[in-house]
Every structure is written in C-alpha cells, then in structure tokens.
Amino acid sequence: MQNISMKLWLDSSWLSGTNQSYVESLYSDFLNNSNSVARDWRDLFLNISDFREKLESCTKTSENNPQFLEKNPEYVSSARENPKKNIEPIHLLNLINAFRCFGHQQAHLDPLKLQKHKKIEELDLAYHGFQDSDLHNSFNISSLSLDTKTMKLINIYALLKKIYCGSIGAEFMHITDKNEKEWIQKRLELVDRDTIFSIKEKRNFLKTLTAAEGLERYLGSKFPGAKRFSLEGGDALLLVINEIIYYSRKKNTHQIILGMAHRGRLNVLVNVLGKKPQDLFNEFSGKVSENIGSGDVKYHMGFSSNIQTTDGIIHIVLECNPSHLEIVNPVVMGSARAQIDTIYHKDSNQVLPITIHGDAAIIGQGVVQETLNMSKVRGYQVGGTVRVIINNQVGFTTSNLQDARSSQYCTDIGKMIMAPIFHVMADDPEAVAFVTRLSLDFRRTFQRDVFIDLICYRRHGHNEADEPSVTQPLMYQKIKKHPTVREIYARYLECTQVINKNDAMEMVNVYRSKLDTGEYIAPTCHPNSPNAFSLSSSKYSNANLTYQKHLDLSYLQELATNISIVPTTVTMQSRVKKIYTDRFQMATGNKPFDWGAAENLAYATILEQGISCRLSGEDVGRGTFFHRHAVIHDQSNGSIYIPLKHINQNQGSFYVWDSVLSEEAVLAFEYGYAMASPKTLTIWEAQFGDFANAAQIVIDQFISSGEQKWGYRCGLVLLLPHGYEGQGPEHSSARLERYLQLSAENNMQVCVLSTPSQLYHILRKQAQDELKRPLVIMSPKSLLRHPQAVSSLDDFATGTFQSVIDEIDPIAYQSVQRVIFCAGKIYYDLLNKRRQNNQNYIAIIRIEKLYPFPYKELENILQRYGNVHDFIWCQEEPKNQGAWYITQHPLREVLTSGSLLRYAGRSASASPAVGYTSIHHQQQQDLVNDALTIK
C-alpha cells in the first residue's frame, strides 16, 4: 500500500476481501492522476482524514512528489479543509457497495417464499456507523448512477433495497474487469424500471403469458396423464425467449440458435417457433404422417422458423436434444461458430446462441464446465452465449440444497468465467423482461457469456404422471394455493389501469379458440417443415462441386512442393526442419510419402478446390505423435506459420485449433460445427483413441443416431489413434468394437487404414461427398513412421480408396491354402513374418472399411481363392473387443459353403491391453504365429 491510512480503512471495511486489490489499483491510479478515477472514488480518497493530514504535510515541501501536486490541485485544497470533518461519505460508499455485493442475498426471488433469507450484517445501516438520527440527513450520492445529486439517507436506503433486493438479484462484483462492473452498475441504478415498458409492451407480456399457460392447460385437459414436461410455474420462459427474439433483431441479429432440454419445449415449439398445434396433437395421439427414420419423442425434436419482426426477419433454430440434458450446449456453440465463420464474416453479433438449462443440471453435469471453459478460447468462442436457467428449485425429486449442490446458487459455476448472473423472480414479468434486455446488451457490448437465473417453481411432477407431494409435501401445498403468473400479472395490470376487467379473460378465450382450430398460433412465424429444421439441409450441400477423383501427377507434385517450403524468415526447430526437408524430398519423388505428408497433401488439394477444413483436438497442430506439424512455431520469436494457409488467394479457409483438455464438449462442438457447415471438412482428433470414452454421449446420441432420430446429416471425421504397441491398457485401443456396435442403416463409416494413400483418398472423398455421414478412422501410431507404411505420388494420382486390399506379393492364387483377413497395423506383422517363413501359400487380405461392410468388393476378390476353405480373422485386440464379434457375421455371408472361419488373436479380456511390455510382445508373437500356422 502507498498510504497507511488506506490500509487501515480497508482492514476495517468489508472491502478487505476479494475487492481489496481492486481498490488498491484505483488508489494507485488516483495518486498518479486524480481525474483518472470515477468521482465517487475520488471523493472517497479525498475524504479520508489521515490521508488529508498526510497531504497537508506533502504541501509543505515540493520535494514530496511535486508532479502529483501539479496534476491534482484539488488535492491541496482538500488537504487544507478541516481534517476532522465527518467521514460519512466513506460509510455511505461502503453501504452502497455492500448492496452491490450482497444485495442479491436479500432479494425477493422465490415466488413460493420457501427459501429463508440469512441476515446480512453488511446491509444494515448500523454496520456502517449510521444512527437513527442520520436517516433524514442529506448526502451526496455521486457514487450511485443517478441524476440526483443529494438524497436523504432514509431514501437512499430504500432505493438500494429496491434496486438490489427486489425481484432482481444481481451478482457482478466478482467480475475483475472494471468497465464491465461499472456498465452493469449504471444499467441497474440509472434505469427507472417502473417506466421502462410501454402500455403496448405490457399488454404483449400478458398475451405471451396467456399463451404459455393456455397451451399447457389445453394439453393437460386433452391428453391427461401424457408426458409433456409442462412449463407451468416457469411460464415466464416464453417471455424471455420472445424478448430475446424481438430485442436482438432490433440490434441487428439475424440468427438465433437455441438449445434446451425437454421442460417447456412443446410450448416453445408452438408459441414461439410456430409449430402447427394440430401436428403436435397428432404426435400425442400417435399419428405421424411423415416418417424420418426411427424418429424421437416429441419433446426432443427440433424446429426452425423465420420470424417476422418490425425490424426484419430473424431465423431461429431449435436444436434437437436427447435426454442428456446439458449435452446440447456445446452443439449450439459449434453450430453458431460455423455460421460466424462461414456466413457472417466473423461478426458474432449476427448470430446469437441461447442455451436453456435446468437448475439441477447446470450445476450437476460436467459438460457445463467444459463448455464454459471454451467460451473465450480462440477456436471455440462465439461472442458470448446467453444462458437461461429454468430454476424450479427441484431437480427430479431433490430440492434440499444440502443434497443438490455445494454452492449457494446453481449458477455459481458461471463465476469461473467472470460471467454476470442475474437472478430474477419469474412471477415478476417486467423484471424478467428487463433482465433479458440487460443480458442481451451485456453480451453484445462485451462479447461474453451472461446468466439469467429464472427462479420459478414446477406446478406438476417431473412429468405429468408423477406425484410430487410424495417427496416435496410442503412445497406442493404452497404450489396448489399459488396463483399463476398470468393471474398475478393480469391483476397488476388491471390495478394499474393498463387493461380493464374483461381484457385478460378475452385473451384467454381468443387463444383457446385458436387452439381449437389446430392452426398456427404465432402469426409472425414462417415455420419450416419439421424435416428441414436441420442446419445441414440440402441447400448447404456440396452439390455444386465436381468430385475430383484423380488429380494430375504434376499438379500434385507442385502442390506438395509448395506446402513443404517454409520461408527462410521462419526459424524452425531442428527436428521439424528435418521433417519438412524430408517432405520436400517426397514432393520431388526422392522419398515415398509418410502418413503426415499424405495427410497435409490431402488438405492442400481440398483447400485448393475451395473447400474449407477445420481440424481440432488436443495438440492437433503438431500432432500427439509428432507427425503432422501443420503449425510451425518460430523458435526465435514464438510466432506461428501455417503452410496450408499459403496455397493461393482463392483457397478454402484452413482452421487448426489446439483444443482445451476436453473430449465431451469439444466433440459436441465439432458435431454442431460440421452439421451447420457441411461445406467444411470438419475433423476431431483424439489425443489417444480411447480418450473418446469421455465423449461417449456425443457418439451415442448425436454422431451414430442423429440422422435416424432427427434427420440430421453430419460429415464429421473422427481420427482415433489405435494400435497395440505395448503402451498399456489406456493407450492401445480406440474401442473399435463400440463403433461397430453402433453401426447400422448406413449411419456412418468405420475404417482401419493401413497406408498413407488410403488416408489421402478417404479424406478427399469425405470432403467432396454430397451425402454427409460421419467417418470414424482408427488412425495409426507406430505406422506413422513405419518404413513399409508409405505411398508414392503415383498412388495419390492414379489410385483411389480401396475398401478391401488384396494380397500384394506375387503369389499363385491356385496354391493358396489359407486366407487371413485383418485390419490395421497387424497386417505388417503378419506380412513380415510370412515373408520370413516363405509361406507363399497363405494370402493376407486387408479390410480397410469395416462398416458399411464391403460385401461386393470382398466377393470379387475371393473369387480368386475359390479353392480355399480355411479362413482366419486375425486381430491385435482381445477376442471380446476389436472387430471379431461384429465382422465374423458378414464374413461368413461372403464365404463359400463349407468354409471354416477361425479367430486368431488375444484371448477375451476385461482390460483392453496388458500393462507389461514383455507380456505384450509375447502375446503379439503368439497371435501372429497362430494365424500363420497350418496344422
């Protein structure tokens, strides 16, 4: 501290906590130039008596900081005042800032009044040294963001309670950015909330609440006991979404991407997005006129609409979402980022991602933390997401906070990214609307996440078949007697003469009549067909691209040379320089291509065609196994150089992002990105293949089944390093068996590749295919530098992707006694051992695409082995893992009658691999020998 009196004051103040460093920083600025700090702080520093006395002594000699005296003449005049003057302004500032910090804990937020307020001493006048005799004294209130200069203490206190302890509880003092805090203070303190909304807006609020309540009651009477996950109690959510739509469009937003779980989803579909009520009624009755695969329950389905507002059309997409409540959040962000990158020229204000959460889920599920952690990361930021919590104060059956979480609020997780949090009572519609607009303005101004905690209740059980009073008897006694928010607001508007006695009932009757007709409720919507809600509809396809199966050898050579030359101004690390020197030799035909060179060449050909590529994952720029080096780090200054960004001026964009240490949220983000931008080749690489375990929900619920359930088509590529090199249980298997178990109805491709040219061709095919489906590649580790796992430029120029690769050695087909089927790295072990043993009577066939199974290609090859009846499937993985259990069935279908198919590989195991290198090598040797031994 630069002043002892400041330290004494801070030590005796509530500011001695986390805000002390903030005050110290302000004080340091003040010492340099008093005009650099806000007036309230300047007045405070000038009114500390010890501080004044020190200033008095400072003026006696010019040796004590004369520059400061010249810059701050008011410093001298203040020091000459009476040093014993009452320092009540200090106490007042303490009081004001106490309300800013702790007011939310005394706010009236719970509509049911079940939550008891704890006494907050810092909010008492006596705590700050005020007495009853001070109540009618006037004070300067420049520290409040008001136009009024002075106010009596009793009125100041009442105003602070109204601002910070009413229907809104604002948490923002944890934010470290001074500008953000001051911006929020002004918006909370300067705006007169009693006069902010016009009569027309208030009537519209009532209409929205009438629609929210009307649909739920209609469905409850028409389909009693049916699951609909009613919004009742949280009806104000509809008000939040409508305000987001109309207010954001006024601020020039053109697209909203919305993710939410099932609570209130049907209400949003009908009343906001304009889904036809009769279509919803048909779904309740089990009548579905259009079949899109297996389909899904109605409260998981998505939709999209163009909504006409007075400021123009805004497009809104409600993403499909499974019952894993929070997993849609990163999908929404990925879809938004895709639109920002590809359509809106990096302008994140044109796209608004909104996520709606439950109170138990947002604090309980880890993907929320992962998603928030990405919110300001370069490759994943979307300019801020508005996160709305339907806080009905009970998860499924748990409402006791001692069981629900370890923090006071479910939104406390938002503090990890310094997001402002606005708690608002859902029974106060105008407070809800105010907070919504405030949140949108904050997001737009600071490009950061913001939380709206809509504190409400759940009128029924988790679903309408549940009996909630079994576990929450006191809560539901209150709920049964509690009026709806529509009733509360209608009475308020009647009392304030905004509507007359009959207006509210007329709104109810009009809405009911519309529902009876079954026609559209939202007149300003232009809803798309339910089959067209996917962002990856046909209009985004690559139909305008010509599939380039083969490229000229000279063209490939020139392109490979181009991306292998690094400017001399870039100082490369020695090993990286050797890799790029070798790649230049590959390009000139002096060396065969390895895996990393082939992959980069594939990207180059795709980019040169005008198709963009996005590659993300942990350490993908370099590559976990030191093979890719798409990003070169200058050793002299730390800058980066990316050769694939310097092909030509008209190339597609190349994005390569080292991700945060997350699999679930990042993979979900990339799924959303790939779905929303099908013209981009989107790739996610796991650091090791089995790391995808942490993202199994994304793989199960979106990647493998999204098309069948929702009609979503997605061309996302997964690179999953896989191979048994003795690295132990956690770094050997990418769990190939899981992807094969999930494969059906041509939902995705699962490949185990063995040569660089195979990777080159399949990536090019994936980028250019009009029909988008996920591609899962078991990518190699040791094969990245295996001397036999190489390809020539001619393989790229004249070759194509082969689902099955026949025997490559010159053997006589008629002399073959056994055929071994395999996939991946084990092929090279088998090949070398067979050559060593001179076993030319055994053929080895590689199946590179395990799903969809290449029946026709394999049948054509097996015609050459018509005399063979002894077949082996050989794999590195344990018998109960890998491809054997799935692949044996299609293999038997193509084998001739009387043929024997046998397994050669490791025994069944609970663990993916052994942890001891010696045992690994022995197992590997045994399984190879078993496959090659004919008894």
Shared domain check, 665 and 726: yes
Name the domain boundary from 798, 819, 842. 798
DSSP 573: -
Average pLDDT of the chain?
89
Only one residue has tokens 């022995």, namely 922
Can you tell me the distance from the alpha carbon of 819 to that of 873, in angstroms, rounded to the nearest whole number?
9
Whether the per-residue pLDDT at 37 is higher than 80: the answer is no
Q: In what order do the strands lie in the sheet with 303-309?
A: 168-171, 421-425, 450-455, 386-391, 351-358, 255-260, 312-318, 303-309, 525-527
On the question of pLDDT at 83 being above 50, the answer is no
Beta-strand relationship, 640-641 and 386-391: unpaired
In a domain, 545, yes or no: no
| Burial of 863 (C-beta count, 10 Å sphere; 0-12/13-18/19+) | exposed
Q: Answer yes or no: do 462 and 434 share one domain.
A: yes
H/E stretch holding 214: helix 199-222
How many CA atoms are closer than 13 Å to the CA of 689, on its beta-carbon side? Answer: 27
State the pLDDT at residue 536: 42
Predicted local confidence at residue 258, as pLDDT? 96
Considering the domain boundaries, does residue 561 fall inside one? yes
User: Per residue, what are the HEC states of 84-101?
Assistant: CCCCHHHHHHHHHHHHHH
CA distance 859 to 862: 5
Q: Say which amino acid occupies 493.
A: L
Q: Is residue 771 part of a domain?
A: yes
pLDDT digits (tens, 9 = 90+) for 160-171: 999 999 999 999
State whether 85 and 157 are in the same domain.
Answer: yes
822 found inside a domain? yes
Two structure tokens written together for 741: 């178990």
Based on the fold, state whether residues 119 and 233 are members of the same structural domain: no
531 — pLDDT class (breaks 50, 70, 90): very low
Answer whether 821's CB lies under 8 Å from 853's CB: no
For residue 144, is pLDDT > 60? Answer: yes
**Which ranges constitute the DSSP H helices of 680-825?**
696-698, 706-710, 736-741, 756-768, 793-798
**Residue range 677-699: average pLDDT?**
96
If asked whether residues 114 and 215 sit together in one domain, one would say no
User: Does position 17 have pLDDT exceeding 80, yes or no?
Assistant: no
Higher pLDDT, 395 or 80: 395
The CATH number covering residue 621 comes to 3.40.50.12470
The radius of gyration of the chain from alpha carbons, rounded to an integer in Å, stands at: 34
* Pairs from 200-204 (Cβ < 8 Å, separation ≥ 24): 201/433, 202/430, 202/493, 202/498, 203/493, 203/498, 203/499, 203/503
pLDDT of residue 560: 97
Tens of pLDDT, residues 264-280: 899 999 999 999 888 88
User: What is the average per-residue pLDDT within 104-132?
Assistant: 92
Hey, what amino acid is at 344? Y
Cβ neighbours for 337, distance < 8 A, ≥ 6 positions apart: 380, 381, 382, 669, 672, 673
Q: What is the pLDDT of residue 86?
A: 44
| 3-class SS letters over 372-383 | HHCCCCCCCCCC
Residues 266 and 280: beta-carbon distance below 8 Å: yes
Domain boundary among 190, 220, 242: 190
- The amino acid that residue 602 corresponds to is A
For residues 261 and 23, what is the distance between their CA atoms, to the nearest angstrom? 42
**Predicted confidence band at 32 (pLDDT cuts at 50, 70, 90)?**
low
Q: How far is CA 211 from CA 215, 270, 425, 547, in A?
A: 6, 9, 19, 50
- Confidence at residue 190, expressed as pLDDT on a 0 to 100 scale: 85
What is the C-alpha to C-alpha distance for residues 557 and 585, in angstroms, rounded to an integer?
A: 11
Contacts of residue 695, defined as CB under 8 A and 6 or more positions apart, other chains included, come to: 663, 664, 666, 667, 668
* Higher pLDDT among residues 67 and 276, named by residue: 276
Mean pLDDT of 31-49: 65
Residue 547, domain member (yes or no) = no
Q: Give the other-Cβ count within 10 Å of 893's Cβ.
A: 11
Does one domain contain both 523 and 604?
no
Q: Decide: helix, strand or coil at residue 547.
A: coil
Q: Report the 10 Å Cβ neighbour count for 788.
A: 12
Closest of 296, 288, 265, 257 to residue 705, by C-alpha: 296
- Sign, Cα dihedral of 283, 285, 288, 289: negative
Query: What share of the chain in percent tops pLDDT 70?
Result: 88
Q: How far is 790 from 476, CA to CA, in rounded Å? A: 69
Give the whole-angstrom CA distance, residue 457 versus residue 392: 4
Determine how β-strand 632-633 pairs with β-strand 640-641.
Answer: antiparallel
CA 902 to chain centre: 46
CB 309 within 8 A of CB 245: yes
Same domain (yes/no): 501, 583: no
pLDDT reported for residue 261 = 87
Tokens read off for 644: 């694939």
Q: Is the pLDDT of residue 80 over 80?
A: no
Mapping DSSP onto H, E and C, the string for 457-519 reads: CCCCCCCCCCCHHHCCHHHHHHHHHCCCHHHHHHHHHHHCCCCCCCHHHHHHHHHHHHHHHCC
Quote the CA–CA distance of 273 and 303 in Å, as a whole number.
Answer: 7
Confidence band, pLDDT 50/70/90 cuts, at residue 530: very low
pLDDT value at position 400? 83
Q: Is residue 116 part of a domain?
A: yes
Contacts made by residues 467-474, CB under 8 angstroms, sequence distance 24+:
468/394, 468/397, 470/397, 471/397, 471/398, 471/399, 472/394, 472/397, 472/399, 474/114
Higher pLDDT, 289 or 425: 425
Backbone angle region of 837, left / alpha / beta, with phi > 0 → left and psi within -120 to 50 → alpha:
alpha
Map tokens 């008209």 to a residue: 650
Is there a single domain that holds both residue 378 and residue 467? Answer: yes
Is the same domain home to 752 and 782? yes
Measured over the CA atoms of residue 48, residue 52, residue 54 and residue 58, the dihedral's sign is positive
Q: Is the pLDDT of residue 825 over 90?
A: yes
pLDDT confidence tier of residue 539, bands split at 50, 70 and 90 = very low
Residues 786 and 889 in one domain: no
- Euclidean distance between CA atoms 56 and 68, whole angstroms: 13
Tell me: pLDDT of 82 over 70.
no
Q: Do 504 and 206 form a contact (C-beta atoms < 8 A)?
A: yes
- pLDDT at position 288 is 66
pLDDT at 618 over 80: yes
- Do both 632 and 527 map to the same domain? no
Residues 240-269, mean pLDDT to the nearest whole number: 94
Q: Give the pLDDT of residue 721.
A: 97
Say if residues 69 and 76 touch (Cβ distance below 8 Å). yes
Summarize pLDDT for 581-609 with one digit per residue, the tens: 999 999 999 999 999 999 999 999 999 99
Query: Is the confidence at residue 50, as pLDDT, over 50?
Result: no
| 3-state secondary structure string across 285-318 | CCCCCCCCCCCCCCCCCCEEEEEEECCEEEEEEE
Q: Where does 117-207 show beta strands of DSSP type E?
A: 138-140, 150-152, 168-171
Whole-number Å distance between alpha carbons of 556 and 589: 11
The domain boundary residue, chosen from 798, 828, 856: 798
Distance in Å from the first CA to the final CA of the chain: 87
pLDDT digits (tens, 9 = 90+) for 163-201: 999 999 999 999 999 999 999 999 999 888 889 999 999
Residue 319 contacts residue 332 (beta carbons within 8 Å): yes
Inside any domain, residue 538: no
Q: How confident is the model at residue 291 (pLDDT cuts 50, 70, 90)?
A: low
Is residue 54 assigned to a domain? yes
CB contact set of 856 (below 8 Å; sequence gap of 6+):
none
- Whichever domain contains 827, its CATH number is 3.40.50.11610
- Residue the block writes with tokens 């796991």: 686
Give pLDDT, residue 292: 60
d(CA 347, CA 337): 10
Buried b (16+ CB within 10 A) or exposed e, 410-432: bbbbbbebbbbbbbbbbbbbbbb
Return d(Cα 492, Cα 140) in angstroms, integer.
35
- Tell me how many domains the chain contains: 4
Are 499 and 574 in the same domain? Answer: no
Domain that holds residue 845: 807-932
List C-alpha distances in Å: 66 to 30, 52, 517, 735, 805.
Answer: 15, 16, 82, 73, 85
Mean pLDDT for 207-225 is: 91
User: Each residue of 483-514: pLDDT tens digit?
Assistant: 999 999 999 999 999 999 899 999 999 999 99
pLDDT cut 90: percent of the chain above it: 73
**Residue written as token pair 């809560």:** 475
Domain containing residue 278: CATH number: 3.40.50.970
Mean pLDDT in residue range 733-762: 97
